[in-house]
Amino acid sequence: MTAQIFNLSPILILIVTALFVLLLDALFPRGDKKLVFTLSLLGLLGSTVASFQLWQLDGLSLLSEAIRVDHFSLFFTLLSLAITFLTFLSAFPLMKENKVPAGEFSFFLLSCCAGMSLMAWSTDLITLFLSLEIMSVTAYILTGIERERLTSSEGALKYFLLGAFSTGFLLYGIALLYATVGSTQFSALANYAMTSKHSLPPLFYTGVGLLTVGLAFKIAVVPFHMWVPDVYEGAPTPITAFMATGIKAVSFAAFIRIFLIALLSLKANWTMILLCFAVGTMTVGNLAALVQTNIKRMLAYSSIAHAGYIFIAVCATTHQSFELSTSAILFYLIAYGLMTLGAFAIVTYASSLYSKHGQEKNMISDYAGFGLRFPLLGGAMIIFMLSFIGVPPTAGFMGKFYLFGSAIKSHLFWLAMVGILNSVISSYYYLRILVAFYMNKPKETEALTPLPLSLGVVIFIAALGTILIGLFPSKIFAIILKTVTPLL
């Protein structure tokens, strides 16, 4: 029993810290916000140390195969922890200005992180459902946590209604799979799919389809993306970055565990649907981003498009190319996470400059001359935008290289071509931001608030990471390759 608790420690530390922080804030409502913030960061640190401790294990199923601790799950735990850490840093100015309640905010963010980790660990449909709900419900609240601002509440409502709706589909899919397979474990699903490959009942396919809908909603795959722009615009900017990177990443983890590991033997039956997802998500995301005038909405559509690029590697996954394709997905999730967190940190600072009377101002035209006024921030934004487009030597370029490379390995040349064409289209709207940054004259010079240190740290880490991963990708790729190889 103690051994089991030790193996669960990364998640347990997060939950205990979350509860402690909430109690502390409730007992001392006038206390220092810095204390809550520091304690949360310590909790994240403790969980990180615990995850590294578990890295020595070779993979272990716990709690009657409800969860599994292996390198794959620890990879996503560490990724969620890093994303949560950077989100905390970006949100610290909001906490200090009392725009968001510090105690509740930290509690929900830490719980969301615990849910995200658990999602990558789950190897049972029940655990998957529960972790998905922990993650989603806290994300609904985090979206609406700026109660004074109407768009925040409206975004939370839209997210909640559509999220709960999609949960219904996911749950019904789980029930149908349980009815046909007689168990909710992924390994039982895999066995069932292998043994009765040629006589699978329609109920099974319906279940798999409904499960796909539920997860596709979280990843924001076209046509289940309608909520993304409104929710991403309404949420506080650090939370937008958190959702675009963290929630998307672990949803991919669950997707890989179910569809690319347990049900890989069935993949040939629904390649067509996956190809439609990939092409549709890329194209719709990029085309819709072209016409946006609000930078948060534009980045929301761009995050849809990037999920589409990742789906190229999902389509390319077969028994032979499993390692390379899934490694490409994991690599891209790191690269995309870094550049998105950095870009949104700059947006957070800029909108704190331009916003007045509690209304957020995020129009691209507001950024006129931003790069000239802030040369360092402008330089960082150039790095992030070039990385989004996929220009060497940035992480985005290497990520796309591996994704499209996996498509070419699986002889999906046309799909790689569609991906490259989409990158070309996307350069229009990313460069439009840089045009606003450097080519337009600043409107008026107001009194400037200096860049908060915590935001500066986030932007620095993100920019440095984007460049370093772009320059030395092979080391990280080798680690990821080792992470995914024992999965199949």
Alpha-carbon distance 237 to 436, whole Å? 20
Q: Considering beta carbons, is residue 88 or 160 the nearer one to another protein?
A: 160
Please tell me the count of residues contacting another protein according to CB under 8 A: 39
Q: Considering beta carbons, is residue 156 or 368 the nearer one to another protein?
A: 156
Q: Considering beta carbons, is residue 71 or 296 the nearer one to another protein?
A: 296
The helix or strand, by DSSP H or E, that contains position 367, with its residue range, turns out to be none
Alpha-carbon distance 21 to 31, whole Å? 12
Distances (CA, A) of 28 to 34, 94, 137, 147, 203: 13, 19, 26, 21, 54
Residue 358 beta carbon to another protein: minimum distance, rounded to whole angstroms: 12
Any idea of the CA torsion for 390, 301, 459, 393, to the nearest 10 degrees?
Answer: 0
User: Which 462-481 residues touch another protein, going by CB under 8 A?
Assistant: none
Q: Is 49 helix (H, G, I), strand (E, B) or coil?
A: helix
Q: Considering beta carbons, is residue 331 or 429 the nearer one to another protein?
A: 429
Q: Considering beta carbons, is residue 126 or 420 the nearer one to another protein?
A: 126
Residues across the chain: 488
Cis preceding linkage at 393, omega within 30: yes
Please report whether residue 144 would count as binding another protein according to CB under 8 A: yes
Please report whether residue 202 would count as binding another protein according to CB under 8 A: no
User: Which 159-188 residues touch another protein, going by CB under 8 A?
Assistant: 160-161, 164-165, 167-168, 171-172, 174-175, 178-179, 182-184
Residue 154 beta carbon to another protein: minimum distance, rounded to whole angstroms: 5
Please report whether residue 121 would count as binding another protein according to CB under 8 A: no
The pattern of x and - marking residues 231 through 270 that bind another protein according to CB under 8 A reads --xx------------------------------------
Please report whether residue 227 would count as binding another protein according to CB under 8 A: no
Alpha-carbon distance 92 to 217, whole Å? 29
Residue of 349, 378, 354 lying closest to 366 (CA atoms): 354
Contact with another protein (CB under 8 A) among 21, 22, 141, 389: 141
User: Which 278-297 residues touch another protein, going by CB under 8 A?
Assistant: 292, 294, 297
Q: Considering beta carbons, is residue 189 or 279 the nearer one to another protein?
A: 189
Residue 467 beta carbon to another protein: minimum distance, rounded to whole angstroms: 33
**Which range of residues in 41-49, 145-153, 244-252, 443-451 is near another protein by CB under 8 A?**
145-153
Chain centroid offset of residue 332 CA:
11
User: Which 295-314 residues touch another protein, going by CB under 8 A?
Assistant: 297
Tokens 């725009």 belong to 99
Burial of 39 (0-12, 13-18, 19+ CB in 10 A): middle
61 phi, psi to nearest 5 deg? -90, 135
Q: Considering beta carbons, is residue 34 or 147 the nearer one to another protein?
A: 147
Residue 73 beta carbon to another protein: minimum distance, rounded to whole angstroms: 21
Alpha-carbon distance 139 to 234, whole Å? 12
Alpha-carbon distance 218 to 224, whole Å? 8
Q: Considering beta carbons, is residue 320 or 359 the nearer one to another protein?
A: 359
Alpha-carbon distance 138 to 227, whole Å? 17
Q: Considering beta carbons, is residue 286 or 292 the nearer one to another protein?
A: 292
Please report whether residue 223 would count as binding another protein according to CB under 8 A: no
Contact with another protein (CB under 8 A) among 75, 121, 129, 370: 129
Contact with another protein (CB under 8 A) among 18, 137, 241, 461: 137
Please report whether residue 157 would count as binding another protein according to CB under 8 A: yes
Q: Are 266 and 209 in contact (CB under 8 A)?
A: no
Q: Is 185 helix (H, G, I), strand (E, B) or coil?
A: strand
Residue of 97, 143, 159 lying closest to 355 (CA atoms): 97
Please report whether residue 150 would count as binding another protein according to CB under 8 A: yes
Q: Considering beta carbons, is residue 145 or 324 the nearer one to another protein?
A: 145
Q: Considering beta carbons, is residue 139 or 263 the nearer one to another protein?
A: 139
295 phi, psi to nearest 5 deg? -70, -35
Tokens 């716990």 belong to 62
Alpha-carbon distance 159 to 162, whole Å? 5
Q: Which residues bind another protein (CB under 8 A)?
A: 126, 129-130, 133, 137, 140-141, 144, 147, 150-151, 153-158, 160-161, 164-165, 167-168, 171-172, 174-175, 178-179, 182-184, 229-230, 233-234, 292, 294, 297
